[in-house]
């Protein structure tokens, strides 16, 4: 068991007043730029119109209230690729929606509805933008533009509301049906129990047993959280029927043979799915095979383990392919997200870069156009993040063009605008003077100071007055904060004594007697003790971590010894060489897989060094490598133990 991490926030040292050079820098910048800008005022450039198709349309549809919500298991199983609808106009898309809604089951429509709404809003947004452009070109104020009401959009929303209502009703009915099926299957289990005590003839009892099996198969799905326990209970009582009732041997053997043939066929079908090129489809089919396996009765004891291992082996290979498929897809999407985040940062950086001339604005516009071109070449990010990252990018682009328009609107109003912004910062700083939320207020004031530096100069007659007002508000808060933290020192000294006492107690503790729960209790008590003086923090934390690591190492060693003893007993109880060889082969395969995993992790460390959070990532990977090597060492010891056992019994 890995050492649990405790995240403790170091006590924050009181932040002093604004740095002395802040006023000097600000006043110097303002004095240097207070001269009237003599450049000619240029006409505002028209923003670059770059559309991003599916992303933009999906975001517009969600903003219009057409978000479907989470996908159900039934919808996932029914999902299929939709036709290309790009050739249909708005009216045709609405008509198709109505036709699908009327003629197809609601649980199969999710993918179609998503495709229709995206195709619709691609065209709808293009039409609205054309109206906006015509309105502006005709001399209208863009802020006063109102799009023409769209009857097709209203009809689409009405159909979507019907779809959501029908979908919600279907989901509710499905849940109710599952609950009813659960009751039926519980009743069947009760009837199975009663068969053991039946006074009927064996043929009659067996016929009733067959009837119960058929009723079980015909009963539909139950709530997912009940599936495992329900099947285990059912299977237990089926086996009880075979093992404890004195049934006719001929009937029993015939039934066991039938079950054997059914499960053998399921094994063959599962093995065929291993070669299925469509990984997702193979996984879905496998789930159905597992349902059939659970519904099939027992087989003769000599075949039970062999059949299950064969079926499980095929299942594991399919599950591994399915997992690798989605991990690969997720990795690609995460890479796309990272690339898009970089583009967002670059675009946001353009909005903070001071551009004082038309030449600089034109250069920045060219940079943004290149960024937009790169964005269009990158695939989708993870579903939960895709709209958010696109909205961030769009907002950054919008902000850039807004700033550009503001620049071209005229520099005469810039200083007045800066004065207004700085007045707002003064009001925000003054509102924090009496705050008792020290950390939050400090962060807010630092953010205000950063924003102050970003704001351009104001007129000379206002410069000194507005700066002194802002400086006074910040100084008053930080003076109060300094006084407050001076009273906290005594509390930190007391916490230091408590933590030192706890360390002494931990050193003397018998960790084997208390086990992992005792270590967790020490961790809990440690985390409840407050901050200590900053000069003792690192040394104290280092000692604490060393003691906890030692405790976990002791417990892991003890646990490993118990695990090896249990394995020795298991090996001693194995009958025949086949079981031993099968177990040895399984362990050897697992060792090989772990060797590959370790090699992959070690290789990945080189890539992590290039990322922003390299140290944390590398530390985490090295911990995984160490844990994997410990597990691999234990597996190798188990293989040696099997070899020794075979040698001693040869």
- Taking the domains of the chain in order of start, what are their residue ranges? 53-148, 248-408, 410-487, 491-549, 577-650
The 10 Å Cβ neighbour count of residue 432 is 18
- Residue 38's SS3 state is coil
DSSP letter string, 142-168: GGG--PPP-HHHHHHHHHHHHHHHHHH
Taking residues 549-554, report their average pLDDT: 78
Could you give the CA distance from residue 555 to residue 552 in angstroms, rounded to a whole number? 5
Could you give the CA distance from residue 230 to residue 220 in angstroms, rounded to a whole number? 13
Q: What sign does the dihedral 453-457-460-463 (CA atoms) show?
A: negative
Q: Count of residues for the chain?
A: 650
Q: With CA atoms as reference, report the closest residue to 389 among 438, 337, 439.
A: 337
With a cut of 60, say whether residue 23 has pLDDT above it. Answer: no
Buried b (16+ CB within 10 A) or exposed e, 39-75: eeeeeeeeeeeeebeebbbbbbbeebebebeeeeebb
**Which residues are CB-contacts of 172 (< 8 A; sequence separation ≥ 6)?**
none
pLDDT per residue as tens digits for the range 97-144: 888 888 888 778 888 888 888 888 888 888 888 888 888 888 777 777
181 against 65, higher pLDDT = 181
φ/ψ of residue 192, rounded to 5: -60, -40
Cα distance from N-terminal residue to C-terminal residue, the chain = 37
Confidence of residue 299 (pLDDT cuts 50, 70, 90): confident
What local confidence, expressed as pLDDT, does residue 25 receive? 34
Could you give the CA distance from residue 229 to residue 49 in angstroms, rounded to a whole number? 58
What local confidence, expressed as pLDDT, does residue 451 receive? 92
- Residue 349's SS3 state is helix
* Residue tagged 């400090």 (tokens): 442
Instruction: Using alpha carbons only, give the angle 332, 336, 339 rounded to the nearest 5 degrees.
Output: 140
Identify the DSSP state of 275.
Answer: T
What local confidence, expressed as pLDDT, does residue 233 receive? 85
Identify the DSSP state of 211.
Answer: H
Could you give the CA distance from residue 573 to residue 578 in angstroms, rounded to a whole number? 13
φ/ψ of residue 261, rounded to 5: -65, -40
Could you give the CA distance from residue 521 to residue 514 in angstroms, rounded to a whole number? 10
Tokens of 602: 């070690």
Taking residues 89-94, report their average pLDDT: 85
**Which residues are CB-contacts of 441 (< 8 A; sequence separation ≥ 6)?**
432, 435, 477, 481
Confidence of residue 32 (pLDDT cuts 50, 70, 90): very low
Indicate the angle between helix axes 614-648 and 576-608, nearest 10 degrees: 160
Most confident of the following: 52-61, 72-81, 282-291, 465-474: 465-474
- Residue 286's SS3 state is helix
Tokens of 593: 């897989």
With a cut of 90, say whether residue 214 has pLDDT above it. Answer: no
Confidence of residue 245 (pLDDT cuts 50, 70, 90): low
Most confident of the following: 66-80, 209-223, 552-566: 209-223
């Amino acid at each position: 068991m890995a050492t649990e991490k405790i995240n403790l926030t170091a006590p924050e040292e009181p932040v002093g007043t604004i740095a002395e050079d802040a006023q000097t820098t600000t006043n110097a910048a303002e004095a240097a730029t207070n001269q009237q800008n003599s450049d000619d005022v240029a006409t505002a450039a028209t923003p670059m119109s770059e559309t991003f198709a599916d992303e933009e349309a999906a975001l517009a549809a969600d903003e219009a209230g057409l978000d479907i919500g989470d996908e159900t298991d039934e919808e996932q199983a029914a999902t299929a690729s939709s036709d290309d609808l790009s050739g249909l106009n708005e009216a045709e898309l609405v008509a198709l929606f109505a036709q699908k809604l009327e003629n197809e089951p609601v649980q199969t429509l999710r993918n179609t509805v998503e495709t229709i709404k995206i195709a619709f809003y691609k065209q709808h947004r293009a039409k609205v933008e054309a109206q906006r452009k015509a309105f502006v070109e005709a001399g209208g104020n863009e802020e006063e533009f109102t799009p023409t009401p769209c009857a097709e959009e209203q009809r689409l929303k009405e159909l979507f509301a019907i779809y959501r209502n029908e979908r919600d009703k279907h989901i509710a009915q499905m849940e109710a049906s599952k609950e009813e099926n659960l009751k039926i299957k519980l009743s069947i289990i009760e009837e199975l129990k009663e068969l053991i005590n039946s006074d009927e003839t064996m043929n009659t009892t067996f016929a009733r047993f067959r009837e119960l099996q058929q009723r079980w198969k015909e009963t539909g799905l139950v709530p997912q959280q009940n599936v495992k326990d329900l099947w285990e209970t059912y299977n237990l009582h089926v086996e009880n029927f075979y093992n404890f009732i004195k049934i006719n041997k001929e009937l029993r053997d015939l039934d066991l043979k039938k079950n054997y043939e059914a499960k053998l066929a399921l094994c063959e079908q599962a093995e065929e799915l291993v070669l299925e090129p469509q990984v997702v489809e193979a996984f879905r089919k496998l789930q159905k095979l597992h349902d059939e396996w659970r519904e099939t009765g027992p087989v003769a004891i000599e075949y039970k383990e062999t059949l299950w291992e064969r079926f499980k082996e095929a299942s594991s290979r399919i599950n591994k392919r399915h997992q690798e498929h989605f991990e690969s897809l997720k990795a690609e999407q995460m890479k796309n997200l990272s690339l898009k985040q970089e583009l967002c940062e670059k675009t946001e950086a353009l909005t903070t870069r001071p551009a004082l001339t038309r030449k600089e604005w034109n250069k920045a516009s060219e940079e943004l156009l290149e960024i937009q071109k790169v964005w269009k070449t990158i695939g989708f990010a993870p579903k939960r993040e895709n709209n958010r990252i696109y909205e961030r990018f769009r907002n950054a682009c919008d902000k850039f063009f807004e700033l550009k328009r503001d620049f071209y609107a005229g520099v005469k109003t810039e200083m007045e605008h800066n004065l207004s912004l700085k007045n707002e910062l003064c009001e925000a700083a003054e509102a924090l003077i009496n705050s008792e939320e020290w950390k939050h207020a400090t962060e807010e004031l630092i953010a205000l100071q950063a924003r102050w530096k970003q704001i351009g100069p104001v007129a000379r007659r206002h410069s000194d007055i507005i700066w002194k007002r802002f400086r006074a508000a910040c100084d008053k808060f930080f003076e109060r904060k300094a006084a407050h933290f001076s009273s906290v020192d005594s509390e930190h000294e007391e916490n230091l004594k408590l933590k030192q006492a706890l360390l002494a107690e931990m050193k003397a503790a018998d960790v084997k007697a208390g086990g992992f729960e005792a270590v967790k209790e020490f961790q809990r008590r440690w985390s409840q003790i407050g901050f200590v003086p900053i000069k003792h923090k690192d040394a104290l934390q280092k000692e604490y971590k060393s003691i906890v690591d030692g405790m976990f190492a002791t417990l892991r060693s003890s646990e490993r010894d118990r695990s090896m003893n249990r394995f020795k007993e298991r090996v001693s109880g194995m009958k025949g060489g086949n079981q031993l060889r099968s177990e040895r082969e399984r362990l050897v395969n697992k060792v090989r897989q772990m060797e590959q995993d370790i090699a992959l992790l070690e290789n990945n460390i080189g890539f992590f060094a290039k990322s922003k959070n390299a140290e944390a990532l590398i530390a985490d990977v090295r911990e995984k490598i160490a844990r994997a090597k410990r597990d691999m060492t234990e597996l190798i010891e188990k293989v040696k133990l099997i070899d020794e056992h075979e040698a001693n019994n040869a």
